[in-house]
Each structure stands twice: as structure tokens, then as C-alpha cells.
Amino acid sequence: MSGEPDSPRVRPHLTALPGYEPVTPVDQLAARAGVDVADVLKLDANENPFGASDAVLRAVAEYRGWSVYPDPLQLDLRAALAGYAGVTPERVVAGAGSDELIELTVRALVGPGQRVVSCPPTFGMYRFLCDVAAIPLDEVERGADFGIDVEAVLAAIRPETALVILASPNNPSGTPLGDDALVALLDSGATIAIDEAYGEYAGTSALERFGDHPRLIAFRTFSKWAGLAGLRAGYGVFHPDLASVLLRIKQPYNVNLAAEVAMRAAIDAKEELLAQAARVVEERGALARDIAALGWLTPYPSSANFLLCAVEGGSSDAGARLHAALAERGVFVRYFGAPRLRDCVRISCPRPDQHEALMTHLRAAGAGLGLA
């Protein structure tokens, strides 16, 4: 014997878990590229290119109640969120980002022997959370246009399916879920969760037409439209019975006061922030046109604040090569490496004043790779 104590006995399925692959912080990206942070074009995480509003920054700077715990029942915050979402407060629960609420929902709804359905390629958090909890995930591949195959999803729903989770607009494709598809899924009898992280850029929400449906869940975040990704600020809209359970099983003080103050200030400044989101949508259209004009990079239609773009006429690793070539120039986009996405990169919409710099780097990278 070595005399060293045995290590803790970790659950076997967790020792082999690859873990979620997040984006790299901007200072590390700058160091890797050998450029100043100010010269980095960070377009890999779908963050708000304008940042948080001045009104939100002032509200956080002026707050003085940091020594007191937040309200575990989130009464004032839930009332503000409900007013913004157009629902009643008893249906709302706030979380440390919508990811926490997705995890809580899975914990509340999916029991032993039950399953979850999702449609890849999509947000990797769904698989990650199911893998951590050792929950079987039935994946129904999206079609060539990255829309869902409704009939295939319906066929995948079984009596033991506790939850179907879909992103609308989808990440990384930007594809929205149509009303007809949602009606068919709700009619299946399954509980349907719609991740609306990019809803403010799409201009529509499942809550507008189906908000009263008892088996519809909507997850939302302030990370994108409000520029609060660093504060982890999100919420969900649920049937009141489920919301009541989530409030009981969440960590008591799961939303810190900085996030609460910022969310409430963002709601107060919603006209400014939604106008800002509209500018991002305009930039998305301009960027799509200019990227398509390159002739070797094709953007898919998107309802989010990013464009998934396919490299045309390149090798099977064209997406990885373009990603690397841009990184050498201090431009960071997202590459996934999944089979359906190996020839693609996802580009977050920049500010309009960054547009020409991005296009210049794309042209140079394409020429260097022999694509232009």
C-alpha cells in the first residue's frame, strides 16, 4: 500500500464525461493571437456587441444593499419578469442563467426510466445536462435546412418521454420553430420546452400564441438582448404547479443581487435595448448579404444574432481551417466539429462599425486558404 488514502468514489459515468466545451475568455484569446484585447473581434459566443446599457450599469453601481441576502422567493423580480413576458408572476422562476432553469426542469420532470428528446445539431447544454444526470437522450436529427422533422420527433416520443426540449431560434443554425410544428408537438401529450434565448432577435415567442398551454415551458435569458451574459441572468415561464416545485427545489439564493438589480433595470430600459436588438437584426441582414457575395461562404437563414455559414468548395475540414485562419488574425468565431457542422463556422453579429473589419479579415482568410 502507498499509504495514500483512496480517492472519492465518483459515479462511473461521470469519470468518462467529456464535459461541456465553453468559449475561451477574451484575454486568453488575445494572448493566443498575440494581439491587444481591444483589437480582438470576439464573435464566438453570441454576446451583445453593444454591451449592457448605461442605465443598467448605473443601477448596479448605485445599489448599496450587497450585505443582505436576496429574496429567495424572488417576489419583486418575478413580478417584473412577468410584466415583461406578459404572464402572471406565479408562472415565473428566475435563475442563474436559463441553463440553471433547464437543469432544474430536468430534475423536476424526468424520473427513473424516463427520457428526454432533442433535435441536434443544437445547444450542447441539453446533452450535457442529460449526461450528467444519466438520463437517456433521444436525438432526432434536423433536416438539411436545420428545421425539425416533426413526424420523426413525434415518432420518438414514447410513454416514458418526460420532456421534449427545442431551441427557437435554434443554436447554432438560427432556425425558428414554426407554429404548426409546435401545435403538433403539444398535441402529442408530451411536455414541450422551448429555449428562447434568442427570442428578442426573432421578434416572436411561443408565449404569444400558446402561453396558456399547461405543457408548454419557455426558457429565456438576459445574456443576449440585454448584454448581461457575465451576470448569469435568466428566467422561465411554467405552469404554476411546476413553477411552485422549482421554487422549492432551487438553491434558496440562486439569483445574486447584482443580477436581480440588472434584470430589473434592463426591463425598465427595454425600449432602448429592444431598439438595439433591432439594430443587430439589421446588421445580420447586411452581414448575410456581404458574406454570400464572397462566393465561397454561404450563410443559412437566421432569426438570431448570429449566422451559421458553410464553406463551399473546401475540404471536409474547411470549417476548422477557416476558424484557425481567422483566429490567427484576432477574429474568433465558433467551430463545432460535429459531423453536420464540419464545413461550417458560426459568426456572431458584430456592431455595424466592426462590419468592414470582419469582411476584410474574411476575404484575407479565404484568399489564404485558396477559397476566394
Report pLDDT digits (tens) over 102-157: 999 999 999 999 999 999 999 999 999 999 999 999 999 999 999 999 999 999 99
What is the end-to-end Cα distance of the chain in Å, rounded?
63
Q: How many whole angstroms separate alpha carbon 15 and alpha carbon 3?
A: 24
Domain ranges (residues) in the chain: 12-39+272-368, 54-269
Question: What pLDDT does 18 receive?
Answer: 86
Q: In Å, what is the CA distance from 221 to each residue of 22, 85, 112, 201, 320?
A: 17, 12, 29, 12, 29
Tens-place pLDDT, residues 190-224:
999 999 999 999 999 999 999 899 999 999 999 99
Q: How many whole angstroms separate alpha carbon 283 and alpha carbon 226?
A: 17
Domains 12-39+272-368 and 54-269 share a fold: no
Span 54-269: which CATH code? 3.40.640.10
Residues 6+ apart with CB under 8 A from 208: 86
CATH superfamily, domain at 12-39+272-368: Aspartate Aminotransferase, domain 1 (3.90.1150.10)
Average pLDDT over the chain reads: 95
Q: In Å, what is the CA distance from 227 to each residue of 222, 233, 234, 265, 277?
A: 7, 10, 12, 12, 10
φ, ψ of residue 307 to 5 degrees: the values are -130, 125
Lowest mean pLDDT among 20-24, 103-107, 264-268: 20-24
pTM of the model: 0.94
Q: How many whole angstroms separate alpha carbon 111 and alpha carbon 133?
A: 10
User: What's the pLDDT band for 1 if we cut at 50, 70, 90?
Assistant: very low
Residues 6+ apart with CB under 8 A from 7: none
Give one DSSP letter per residue of 152-168, joined into a string: HHHHH--TTEEEEEEES
pLDDT value at 71 more than 60:
yes
**The pairing of beta strand 306-311 with beta strand 137-139:** unpaired
User: What's the pLDDT band for 7 if we cut at 50, 70, 90?
Assistant: confident
For the record, the C-alpha cell of 289 comes out as: 448579404
**The pairing of beta strand 161-167 with beta strand 192-195:** parallel
Percentage of the residues of the chain whose pLDDT score is greater than 90: 87
3-state secondary structure of 192: strand
